[in-house]
Amino acid sequence: MIRTFRYVINASDLPSTVHQYLRRQGYSRHILASLKPHPDAVLRNGGHVWFSDQMKPGDVLTVTVRDDVPSVNIVPAPVPFSVVYEDDDLMVINKPAGVSIHPAINHPADTLANGIAHLYQNRGIPYVFRCINRLDRDTTGLLILANNVLSASILEQALQRREIARTYLAVADGKVPPEGTIDLPIGRKEASLIERCVDPEHGDRAVTHFRTLQVFHPDRTQVFHSDCTQILHSDRSLVELHLETGRTHQIRVHMAATGHPLIGDTLYHPRYRTIEGRQALHAWKLSFIHPITKEAMQFTAPLPDDILALLPPDHI
């Protein structure tokens, strides 16, 4: 994939070298280093320019970034997902349950990366897979993919600065308080490669804000004891959650730590399960600034059918 960017230099941008200006536009040192071997990658007024050159008002810089070789070790395969938005710089997709983000030993060709590679193979375009945010295999909802190296650099910096707002919807066990903030550090559970836990001594800070949208009593046929014989009765809560940080399994660990684990979460709520057998967690909304146009972007994805089935007809 080839993308060319054009910048008109104003007096307010000066004094500045080409290198300094491009760094302010979001080009990482790695990107700039990759451009240097190509004489036509960075041009000033259509001609050659050194990165150390001072710019003048009215100068026009054109920068061309290239992904000539697709991501290695990602086999194109028809994996399901839906495109919510797409332009030359990014893609927002709605990921279904049961789809991992990246290939691994146990699923080398049934991941989102394989599906994206398949989409672009059909278009005849080399594509490097760059996923900005992450979702667990069985969590549904919105993800941002960067379509070129510059948008990836800018979006990754925005994520680190907490400028990408991520809002989730979940169905939790019990009556969750009306609103609040969970500020508990999270670390890897000892002797486990997957499970996380609240770890005040060694964990990384993790902050989740929540607001309860509705408390309801479920249809008793939807909830079973782990031995599938005892029907349980308890309230449930439809909860909106906003991540301030992005630790692995953050929402699942935080909700379990407060006594309100997610319905269907067999890792952090093993006594209960739903017929569908996955945590009732959905990445509902994404809000961020477009990395190139600087336009405010906001997207939502409706709750999937298996989570809707857990809610009463009058759910919010």
Q: How far is CA 10 from CA 13, 20, 202, in A?
A: 5, 14, 49
Homologous superfamily (CATH) of 82-160 is Pseudouridine synthase (3.30.2350.10)
User: Strands (DSSP E) along 9-155, which ranges?
Assistant: 42-44, 47-48, 60-66, 82-86, 90-95, 140-146
Residue closest to 189 by CA, chosen among 253, 135, 278:
253
Question: From the DSSP assignment, how many helices (H) and strands (E) are in the chain?
Answer: 6, 17
Q: How confident is the model at residue 219 (pLDDT cuts 50, 70, 90)?
A: low
- State the residue for tokens 């300094």: 20
* pLDDT value at residue 107: 76
Structure tokens at 231: 């029907």
Would you say 9 and 15 are in contact if contact means Cβ atoms under 8 Å apart?
no
Contact call for residues 186 and 196 (beta carbons, < 8 A): yes
What is the gyration radius of the CA atoms in the chain, in angstroms? 23
Summarised one tens digit per residue, pLDDT across range 176-201 is: 999 999 999 999 998 888 899 999 99
**Whether residue 223 has pLDDT greater than 90:** no
CB 49 within 8 A of CB 34: no
Residue 224 pLDDT class (50, 70, 90 cuts): very low
Residue 1: the pLDDT is 77
Mean pLDDT of the chain: 90
Query: Are 6 and 60 spatial neighbours (Cβ–Cβ below 8 Å)?
Result: yes
First to last CA, the chain: 42
pLDDT at position 228: 38
Query: Most distant CA pair in the chain: distance in Å?
Result: 77
C-beta separation of 108 from 102 below 8 A: no
Mean pLDDT score, 63-77? 86
Q: Which residues of the chain form CATH 3.10.290.10? A: 2-66
Which regions of the chain carry the CATH code 3.30.2350.10?
82-160, 165-308
Residue 81 contacts residue 28 (beta carbons within 8 Å): no
Specify the DSSP class assigned to residue 11: G
Q: How many Å apart are CA 261 and CA 259, to the nearest integer?
A: 6
Q: Which of 59, 89, 136, 138 is catalytic?
A: 136
Q: What integer is the mean pLDDT of 125-136?
A: 92
Highest CATH level, class, for 2-66: alpha beta
CATH architecture of residue range(s) 165-308:
2-Layer Sandwich (3.30)
* Confidence (pTM): 0.89
- Higher-pLDDT residue of 67, 219: 67
> Span 52-60, mean pLDDT?
96
Cis omega (within 30 of 0) for bond into 15: yes
Percentage of residues of the chain with pLDDT beyond 90 = 77
Active site residue 67: no
Residues with Cβ within 8 Å of 91's Cβ and at least 6 positions away in sequence, in order, are 83, 85, 116, 144, 145, 147
User: Which residues, other chains included, contact 259 with Cβ-Cβ below 8 Å and sequence gap of 6+?
Assistant: 174
- Cβ–Cβ < 8 Å for 165, 142: no
Rounded CA separation 22/5 (Å): 11
Residues 6 or more apart whose CB falls under 8 angstroms from that of 32 comprise 19, 22, 23, 51
CA distance 59 to 188: 52
Mean pLDDT for the stretch of residues 253-274: 85
